[in-house]
Amino acid sequence: MRDYKLKIDLLPKGAWENDLSKTLPKKDWDLLRNKCYGRANHRCVICGYQTDDLDAHEVWDFNVNKKTQTLKNIIGVLAGVMV
């Protein structure tokens, strides 16, 4: 099977609308997302397009049995791209 850069992950209902951009203070979220953009050299990790208009996408790991979620990464994606 090919390893695609764009993957669709199903989210448990408890994770809906429960992301860091809504739970952290704005200054803390801005610090995290700006580090993410810098790490990506302001390029979308999906298509490689360079822009200052990236969105920070949170990559989570969910353990249904333990009912836990763990943040794995924050990646820069072209604004408007649904990951």
Residue in 68, 78, 82 with CA at minimum distance from that of residue 14: 68
pTM, rounded to two decimals: 0.77
- H or E element that contains 28: helix 26-39
pLDDT of residue 4: 65
> What pLDDT was estimated at residue 81?
57
Question: For the segment 1-52, what is each residue's pLDDT rounded down to a tens digit?
Answer: 566 666 777 777 777 777 888 899 999 999 999 999 999 999 999 889 999 8
65 or 7, greater pLDDT: 65
pLDDT score of 32: 94
**Beta-ladder partners of 63:** 68
